[in-house]
Every structure is written in C-alpha cells, then in structure tokens.
C-alpha cells in the first residue's frame, strides 16, 4: 500500500464532494476479518441505507424532494436539497491482493462515484 494508506474498518469517516456533511461507513455484520479488533470493509460495502448514508445537503444534481435546513456546528444553518446517494458501482481502488470475505479490501484510497456528481472518499480509516 502507498505510504499513508490504511485498511478501512467500520466507522471510518467519509465525505462526498457534493455533500455538506461527513458520515461514517457502516457494517451491520462483520466479514470475519479484523484490523486492530475492528471489522475490515470490502468493495461490496456500498449499499445505500446499509453501508452508506446521507451526506446532508446535496450541491450536485440530486433530484429535489423539497428543501431541508440543517444546523451547522457554528450555530448557523444551511438550506438545500437533501442528499439522495445513488452509487454507480462498487468501490474503486480497493486492495485487490488483500481479500476480505473473498473480495478486495477497502483502503483510504478507495472511492465511490454518485450518480448526482459526487465523489465519495474516506477522510479517516476508522481505526483510531
């Protein structure tokens, strides 16, 4: 792996380039592989509602279902279309030579593409 690249485990933080919020990846049931006691994710862990949740307000091409207003940490607010993640295909840049439950492991270099223009990347590995 490249220097600074780590395996991604349940709870790693992600950011969408078109979203306003950071979210965590979820893994309802472990694949049986662990890093420092945490369950490691694989390239099939991209199911919306199971592994991936909303990134707040979408600044991309999400269809409008009415505007929502979210509170910011600084007390302000932001209004816009609610994120409706729609993944095009499984994670890219998974670690092909490390298999988790028979599939390539996710690393902090792995990315997803949303149909509404967002690029989803990890901002932490979840291991800390």
pLDDT at 66: 78
Residue 128 has pLDDT above 80, yes or no: no
H helix and E strand count, the chain: 0, 11
**What span, in angstroms and rounded, lies between the C-alpha atoms of 26 and 73?**
23
- Please give the C-alpha separations between residue 108 and each of 3, 13, 68, 100, 123, in angstroms, as whole numbers: 11, 10, 31, 15, 7
Of 70 and 46, the one with more pLDDT: 46
Element (H, E) at 83: none
Residue 4: the pLDDT is: 67
Q: What pLDDT shows up at residue 53?
A: 95
> pTM for the complete prediction?
0.90
Secondary structure element (H or E) that encloses residue 46, with its range? none
- pLDDT (tens digit, 9 = 90+) per residue, 6-36? 999 999 999 999 999 999 999 999 999 999 8
CB 15 within 8 A of CB 117: no
Note the pLDDT of residue 126. 95
Non-local CB neighbours of 67 within 8 Å, separated by 6+ positions: 79, 80, 81
- 57-107 pLDDT per residue, tens: 999 999 877 788 888 888 889 889 999 999 998 899 999 999 999 999 999
Give the pLDDT of residue 41: 97
Residue 3 scores a pLDDT above 60: no
């Amino acid at each position: 792996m490249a220097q600074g690249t780590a395996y991604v485990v349940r709870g790693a933080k992600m950011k969408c380039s078109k979203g306003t919020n950071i979210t965590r990846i979820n893994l309802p049931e472990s694949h049986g592989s662990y890093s420092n006691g945490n369950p490691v994710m694989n390239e099939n862990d991209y199911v919306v509602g199971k592994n991936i949740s909303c990134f707040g307000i979408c600044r991309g091409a999400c269809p409008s279902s009415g505007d929502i207003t979210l509170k910011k940490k600084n007390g302000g607010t932001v209004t816009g279309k609610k994120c409706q993640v729609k993944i095009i295909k499984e994670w890219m840049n998974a670690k092909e030579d490390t298999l988790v439950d028979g599939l390539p492991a996710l690393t902090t270099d792995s990315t997803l593409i949303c149909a509404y223009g967002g690029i989803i990347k990890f901002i932490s590995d979840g291991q800390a």
